[in-house]
Amino acid sequence: MRKAILIKTVLFMVLITISANYINAQNSEQVIKLLVDKKLISEKEADSLKALEVIKDLEQKGNNYGILTSKLIQLSGYSQIRYESFQESGKIDGTDLRRIRLDFKGAITGDWDYRLQLDFAVTSKILDGYINYTLDDYFKVTAGQYKIPFSLENQIADDKSESIERSQVVEALVARSTDVIGNQNGRDIGLQISGSLLGKKGQYLLEYYAGLFNGQGINVSDKNKPKDFSGRVVLHPVKGIDFGGSYYNGYDIWGASTKPQVRTRYGAELKLNYQALGLSTEYISGRDGLVTRKGWYALLGYYIIPEKLQPIVKYDSYNPNQGLSNLTSKAYTLGVNYFFNNWTKLQVNYTLKREEVVQIPNDLFEVQLQIAF
């Protein structure tokens, strides 16, 4: 009996290898589906083979592990421990657990997949909770709660950020800490279409994202009938160069207001990568009611030791009200990132802050240790 099972298993793997080489399929999951359609294997046997394929892939990546249930679930997560030292009087130096996150991902079929990301630091909350339907690379539908398609820096995951803090203009105009709708971690509830066009897999010229959102943030029902629109387009003319633009338009309710007010944003972005050198820059302008805000940043990083030691420098400028003069605040950040391994990273940042009118002694020194699994 065992011998028969072994022979059958070997046969399955041979069939997959042959099919992967000679059948016009995009991945092993499609090959397995084809074997099921041809009645060469059963659905139960197909699920077992999918599990083997995913586990092998996770082991190669080295920082994600699978959980076997009725369907395979990929579980990952990370914690960030931060120390802050403030120059500003009234603020007390100290250490906090900044982020404690668990991230669940899974595929129902080759077309349907989902994600659930939770944060347990300070206040437990759902960050991401959405479902994807993928027709092909050129068309995907996403429904649920996730990052709005606006801004380059907003799309960067917190555990992948090269600087400890995000830019002032992103915090203010992309549903984060100083946005009028409150800190929503750059996310909202909505329906989005996206895809990649003009090229071949892995080398597309254009990415597009367009969606309708509540405009109120995470796990909050809409307060008015109109939906907000957000869209982003990114071009990849040559390897290592990405540039694009974002647009957001909505009529939202915030603060003491009981009536919807205009909330619009425009953004332009550029990202360059050449060997050990990386540069990213972005300009964003927005309007909240009668107030117009704008800002930009540029971040330069260079790996002195490949994938190990990376010094960074960042310039960050933000004006919270263009109608008033001398309100621009600037931040100059010097930092270094050290990667112990694929799971552990240490970041050290010193940010020099400067205001146009009254100079506030508010420089900030930060150290952040990140451990992931």
134-147 per-position pLDDT tens digit: 999 999 999 999 99
Decide if 292 contacts 270 (C-beta within 8 A). Answer: no
329's tokens? 């605040």
Instruction: Give pLDDT tens digits for 33-58.
Output: 677 666 667 665 666 566 556 555 65
pLDDT value for 66: 54
CATH at 305: 2.40.160.10
Average pLDDT on 212-236 reads 94
Asked whether the whole model's pTM tops 0.85, one would answer no
Asked if residue 147 and residue 46 are part of one domain, the reply reads no
pLDDT value for 22: 42
Per residue, the 3-state secondary structure of the chain, as one string, reads CHHHHHHHHHHHHHHHHHHHHHCCCCCHHHHHHHHHHCCCCCHHHHHHHHHHHHHHHHHHHCCCEEEECCCEEEEEEEEEEEEEEECCCCCCCEEEEEEEEEEEEEECCCCEEEEEEEECCCCCEEEEEEEEEEEECCEEEEEEEEECCCCHHHHCCCCCCCCCCCCHHHHHHCCCCCCCCCCCCCEEEEEEEEEEEEEECCEEEEEEEEEEECCCCCCCCCCCCCCEEEEEEEEEEECCEEEEEEEEEEEECCCCCCCCEEEEEEEEEEEEEECCEEEEEEEEEEEECCEEEEEEEEEEEECCECCCEEEEEEEEEEECCCCCCCCCEEEEEEEEEEECCCCEEEEEEEEEEEECCCCCCCCEEEEEEEEEC
Q: With the CA atoms of 159, 165, 167 and 172 taken in that order, what torsion angle do they form, in degrees rounded to the nearest 10?
A: 100
pLDDT value for 325: 86
Q: At residue 6, does pLDDT exceed 50?
A: no
Q: Which residue has the higher pLDDT, 69 or 250?
A: 250
Asked if residue 179 and residue 285 are part of one domain, the reply reads yes
Tell me the backbone φ, ψ of residue 211, rounded to 5 degrees: -155, 165
Least confident stretch, 61-70, 326-335, 363-372: 61-70
Q: Which residue has the higher pLDDT, 19 or 100?
A: 100
Asked if residue 158 and residue 42 are part of one domain, the reply reads no
pLDDT value for 90: 87
366 domain-assigned = yes
Asked if residue 161 and residue 230 are part of one domain, the reply reads yes
pLDDT value for 24: 43
**Helix 28-37 with 43-61: angle, nearest 10 deg:** 170
pLDDT value for 200: 83
Asked if residue 90 and residue 36 are part of one domain, the reply reads no
Instruction: Give pLDDT tens digits for 165-202.
Output: 999 999 999 999 999 999 999 999 999 999 999 988 87
68 domain-assigned = no
Asked if residue 223 and residue 308 are part of one domain, the reply reads yes
Average pLDDT on 216-244 reads 94
Average pLDDT on 58-75 reads 63
Residue type, 146: Y
Percentage of the chain with pLDDT > 70?
82
Asked if residue 263 and residue 149 are part of one domain, the reply reads yes
Please state, rounded to an integer, the average pLDDT across all residues of the chain: 88
100 domain-assigned = no
Domain of 301, in residue numbers:
84-94+143-372
pLDDT value for 16: 45
* Number of separate domains in the chain: 2
By C-alpha distance, which of 215, 193, 54 is closest to 132? Answer: 193
pLDDT value for 53: 63
Other CB atoms closer than 10 Å to residue 287's CB: what's the count?
18
Average pLDDT on 230-240 reads 96
Q: At residue 4, does pLDDT exceed 70?
A: no
pLDDT value for 104: 96
Asked if residue 227 and residue 348 are part of one domain, the reply reads yes
120 domain-assigned = no
Average pLDDT on 261-267 reads 97
338 domain-assigned = yes
Asked if residue 90 and residue 15 are part of one domain, the reply reads no
pLDDT value for 65: 52
173 domain-assigned = yes
322 domain-assigned = yes
290 domain-assigned = yes
Q: At residue 157, does pLDDT exceed 50?
A: yes
pLDDT value for 20: 44
Asked if residue 266 and residue 155 are part of one domain, the reply reads yes
Asked if residue 89 and residue 48 are part of one domain, the reply reads no
Asked if residue 90 and residue 41 are part of one domain, the reply reads no
